[in-house]
Structure 1
Amino acid sequence: MNSLHITAAPVSPVDDAINSWFDPIATWFGSIIFFPITIGELSFPFVVLWLIFAALAFTVYFGVIQARGVKLSLEIIRGKFSSKSDPGEVTHFQALASALSGTVGLGNIAGVGVAIALGGPGATFWMIVAGLLGMCTKFVECTLGVKYREIDENGVVHGGPFKYLPVAFRRFGKPVASVLTGLFAIAILIFGVVGGGMFQANQTFAQVRTATGGEDGLLAGPFASLIFGLIFAALVALVILGGIRSIAKVTDKLVPGMAIFYVVSCLLVLGLNFSNIPAAIGEIFAGAFNPQGVAGGIVGVMIIGFQRSAFSNEAGIGSAPIAHSAVKTRRPISEGFVALLEPFIDTVIVCTMTALTIIVANQESYREDLGAGEIGGVALASDAFSTVASWYPVLLAIAVALFAFSTLITWAYYGEQAWGFLFGRAKASVTVFRTLVCVFVVIGCVATFSKVVEFADAALFMCAFINILGLYMLMPVVKKEMKKYLADRKAGTLNDPDTADAVPVEEPA
């Protein structure tokens, strides 16, 4: 999840009016979706427990496939078992990059900063544990996203939860299946336009303005936000008009580039503070199991770590299968093996690098904020990067802007698939949606409707309840395909089209 409230401009009367009107709606909806579970003095959303329990259940059911299947995953990404005749739109690597562009972002920077500020260094350990468990959830949902996809006469793929949820819920009757899938689609659509469009644009403008001198800099004029919004919307339009193929061509270059730059930046900080690394690792393990920790002991630190991981890698939300379903393959399970790498990259690598960077830099802001969570997470990371050079946080701001852009274009695609499910995929209908996204990009740069964005966040996590219920019902189908795929690999027949898994719509076993 890449959610962080940054205001691009002073709150206007229009903002106030909309926020005031929407406040009771957002509060009511949020209280349902983020229903709190209280343990002693600790309180956390039930949806986090729902996501983590599912990840643990899938890990046990599939025999810890996230550990057993890593080598196979890397072989698939390299195209070892691929053929030019495989149906689909993008390669395995492009599908992974597109999905990662929707998750790798401010959640990996600001979210980690907040987790450490609230839960101490020990929260890092539990983030890693949750990320490792979430790998299996991605394995299940992305396999199903390909398993039940449809490819139209133009070669365009339509897949993801919009296809497998109706199959999962068929036993409840067609009306119930249609309602639940429709609610899922509405929630994805809301977040795609508001959270993924308007809010990411808001973040981008805020970061670029800060990097160019703030309120007295290049983007300080009264019309700066509007002009920036129009230019940014035009760039977004250039990418999303081409659909997933165009998005994949951008993300398969942008995401690796961003990730490499960010990891190298973290390594620079770690290198300059090399002597602090052993102590930092010791703090992480000690804090994870400290009964007198800053966040209410072991359980408190565990909850904070799990929560930030769930909000960062989106395992179980149902968003990633939309991107992964466009992959070129005859075997749905192959993309499940690719997708399980996503939480590993997002949480285990990128989030851990952020955490180590903040801890080893040991800046004053970090020490002051420990246990309070009052300083913004980006500020903690920015202060850590300033140990490289005083100007280095400017590069971080540019990276954050690129993270937000990649998230925006990917969520535009997710929203478009939901729009197509609800309103049809006619060319005129799709054009209306893409125009709507661009309009909200401009709005996001000039205004911040905070309560609307909070509503969108709640809508996204409503998807988790519906999606995971569907995954439970269809996991026997995934296990059957997994066993067949591993048997074919052992027999050396994975390149044989005659042994490829079929992609029929079938009832769960």
Structure 2
Amino acid sequence: MRKKSVLWAYLLLPVTTNAQQGLDEQINQNFQKATGWFVDAVFAEIPITDSVGLPWVLIVLIFGASFFTAYFRGINFTGFATSVRIIRGNYDGLETEDKTVDDSAKPQAEEQGEVSHFQALTAALSATVGLGNIAGVAIALSVGGPGATFWMILVGFLGMASKFVECTLGVKYREIDENGKVYGGPMYYLRKGLQDKGLGRLGKILAVVFSIMCIGGSFGGGNMFQVNQAFQLFQYVTGGEASFVQGYGWVFGLLMAILVAIVIIGGIKKIAKVTDKIVPAMVVLYVVAVLSVIGINYSAIPDAFSAIFKGAFTGEGVAGGFIGVLIQGFRRAAFSNEAGIGSASIAHSAVRTRFAASEGLVALLEPFIDTVVVCTMTALALIITGQVVIGVELSDSQGVVLTANALESAVSWFPFLLSFAVILFAFSSMISWSYYGYQAWSYLFGRSKNAEYIYKTVFCLFVIVGAAAGLEAVTDFSDAMIFSMLVPNMIGLFILVPQVRQELNRYYKAIKRVA
């Protein structure tokens, strides 16, 4: 493949026929008129300086993560080793010990669930590790400079506490039917947990609001956006406008829809069996490629770290100054790992355990892997290969291309590897978000087979539409729905945080008995 210029990043646009492009633009305009107020409200910024604003959703996410970190005395760090031991199976014996020793928490009185700790972790990771780690990092660096990396890492660590809280509650308040099928997530801990606090009506309202937003987000950001960006990169590395797939996005979408359908029909058990293989493979694949780039340019590593730490407190780029760099790092990290949104607790609720806090501890590994490890490595690769173009705000497509250029600078065929990794990222995100959306759907419309098949059929149809079209307004709206999920979720987390502490103390007490 011939050498690509960085200018490709500014020229890459969704490729459609003229007729399709005109239709897309018309749909975009009409849809934006109807939903623009909602998108603007969710992503409204509070002015910090004359040129820099801080989205209010980011304030809520960062404040919540900081509060939970302080409340649990740095569980992000003190619980890290325990979470690794849980994944390794060191405490599996606690699930089968004499139940009469501890009957203090009836919801987990028996070991019930559908997947292992590792499978629950990979299912949740599959929804977060993706384009945010590739395109999002490039966008953050282009706006805030290398220093944004420092603040991404910090938010990654803080987000670990939010994931711990929401996933502990997800297991504590889950429901298990007569067939052993698990239903869990914010819908359930908002309704049941707040009812226990005498706030039943508020809990029901918040649960419904969360469910509606989750369904919308699953169709857009968790589906259409993922497949669309995967197709765009695949088309780019196979020749751009001269690619053999030009104009055949619907074929790409159809193939992806078939693969998604095969997996999601089997429910969380089938999803977990796929993600526990795909997630480690795709992360290793991507990390090896990035490490190769870093290794080949090892002499530039000290300068890269120097640029990160200097830029963190001085500031570069269009964001301007320290505040701008800080905000860019915060924004991309929070939007990448989704800590505080509540979505991950849906997957973690399906774990086999009778100790809710055990899965909360496992969940805190998510932001660490997603943001602290993968995002940082992407940033290093971009910085040391000179692919950081400060002062230009990029689209997601352009951000992916910059990362492809960084990989290509080391090995000419690495962009093909990146394309394959992005397709895996997109596929894994779609199957996990289909589960999130279905759980919210079943909460609103019941758990019948008809309701299940209707949702999954519609979801697969959106896969085809997402690959064939470039409906930016639709994906903007769905992203807004995803981040609006934090409102009901965060209210519930702050009210129910004492229950999380009880569960954590109970689990630590159980560990001491077998230590």
TM-score, L = length of structure 1: 0.91
Q: Could you say which residue in structure 2 is the equivalent of 1:446?
A: 468
Once residues 234 and 417 of structure 1 are traced to their aligned partners in structure 2, the CA distance between those partners, rounded to angstroms, is 21
Residue 485 of structure 2: SS of its match in structure 1?
A: helix
Preserved contact between residue 114 and residue 182 of structure 2 (Cα < 8 Å) = yes
Preserved contact between residue 8 and residue 202 of structure 1 (Cα < 8 Å) = no
Match of 2:16 among 6, 9, 30: 9
Match of 2:344 among 315, 320, 323: 320
Residue 426 of structure 2: SS of its match in structure 1?
A: helix
Q: Could you say which residue in structure 1 is the equivalent of 2:204?
A: 178
Q: Could you say which residue in structure 1 is the equivalent of 2:9?
A: none
Q: Does 1:429 align with 2:451?
A: yes
Structure 1 residues 36-115: aligned runs within 5 Å: 36-40=45-49, 41-82=51-92, 83=95, 86-115=111-140
Once residues 382 and 404 of structure 1 are traced to their aligned partners in structure 2, the CA distance between those partners, rounded to angstroms, is 16
Distance 1:43 1:487, change over 3 A: same
1:275 is aligned with what amino acid? S
Deviates further, 58-67 or 171-180: 171-180
Q: Does 1:410 align with 2:410?
A: no
Deviation at 1:397, TM superposition (A): 1.3
Preserved contact between residue 287 and residue 293 of structure 1 (Cα < 8 Å) = no
Distance 1:292 1:379, change over 3 A: closer
Deviation at 1:461, TM superposition (A): 0.7
Stretches of structure 1 lacking an aligned partner (at least 5 in a row): 494-509
Deviation at 1:379, TM superposition (A): 2.1
Deviation at 1:87, TM superposition (A): 1.0
Q: Could you say which residue in structure 1 is the equivalent of 2:213?
A: 187
Q: Does 1:134 align with 2:134?
A: no
Deviation at 1:180, TM superposition (A): 1.7
Q: Could you say which residue in structure 2 is the equivalent of 1:339?
A: 363
Deviation at 1:296, TM superposition (A): 2.3
The C-alpha deviation readout for 1:98-144, integer Å capped at 9, x for no partner, is 00000000000100001111111110000000000000000000000
Distance 1:330 1:15, change over 3 A: same
Deviation at 1:417, TM superposition (A): 0.3
Structure 1: 4+ residue segments shifted above 6 A: none
Stretches of structure 2 lacking an aligned partner (at least 5 in a row): 1-11, 97-109
Structure 1 residues 296-375: aligned runs within 5 Å: 296-363=320-387, 366=388, 369-374=389-394
Once residues 399 and 228 of structure 2 are traced to their aligned partners in structure 1, the CA distance between those partners, rounded to angstroms, is 17
Residue 314 of structure 2: SS of its match in structure 1?
A: coil
2:41 is aligned with what amino acid? I
Q: Does 1:155 align with 2:177?
A: no
Preserved contact between residue 192 and residue 200 of structure 2 (Cα < 8 Å) = no
Once residues 7 and 169 of structure 1 are traced to their aligned partners in structure 2, the CA distance between those partners, rounded to angstroms, is 45
Residue 367 of structure 2: SS of its match in structure 1?
A: helix
Residue 289 of structure 1: SS of its match in structure 2?
A: helix
Preserved contact between residue 144 and residue 315 of structure 2 (Cα < 8 Å) = no
Q: Could you say which residue in structure 2 is the equivalent of 1:26?
A: 35
How many residues are aligned here? 483
Deviates further, 388-397 or 165-174: 165-174
The C-alpha deviation readout for 1:441-498, integer Å capped at 9, x for no partner, is 11112222221111111111111111011100000000111122212212327xxxxx
User: Sequence identity, in percent?
Assistant: 50
Q: Does 1:482 align with 2:500?
A: no
Distance 1:80 1:354, change over 3 A: same
Distance 1:292 1:441, change over 3 A: closer
Deviates further, 165-174 or 420-429: 165-174
Preserved contact between residue 145 and residue 315 of structure 2 (Cα < 8 Å) = no
Once residues 149 and 8 of structure 1 are traced to their aligned partners in structure 2, the CA distance between those partners, rounded to angstroms, is 44
1:356 is aligned with what amino acid? L
Once residues 239 and 351 of structure 1 are traced to their aligned partners in structure 2, the CA distance between those partners, rounded to angstroms, is 28
Q: Could you say which residue in structure 2 is the equivalent of 1:500?
A: none
Preserved contact between residue 168 and residue 471 of structure 1 (Cα < 8 Å) = no
Preserved contact between residue 143 and residue 317 of structure 2 (Cα < 8 Å) = no
What do you get for the CA RMSD once the two structures are aligned? 1.8
Preserved contact between residue 194 and residue 496 of structure 2 (Cα < 8 Å) = no
Once residues 290 and 230 of structure 1 are traced to their aligned partners in structure 2, the CA distance between those partners, rounded to angstroms, is 48
Deviation at 1:295, TM superposition (A): 2.9
Deviation at 1:20, TM superposition (A): 1.9
Preserved contact between residue 233 and residue 400 of structure 2 (Cα < 8 Å) = no
1:25 is aligned with what amino acid? A
Deviation at 1:389, TM superposition (A): 1.9
Q: Could you say which residue in structure 1 is the equivalent of 2:101?
A: none
The C-alpha deviation readout for 1:400-423, integer Å capped at 9, x for no partner, is 111111111110110000110110
Once residues 13 and 265 of structure 2 are traced to their aligned partners in structure 1, the CA distance between those partners, rounded to angstroms, is 28
The C-alpha deviation readout for 1:37-69, integer Å capped at 9, x for no partner, is 101121121100110010000000001011011
Deviates further, 139-148 or 19-28: 19-28
Q: Could you say which residue in structure 2 is the equivalent of 1:207?
A: 233
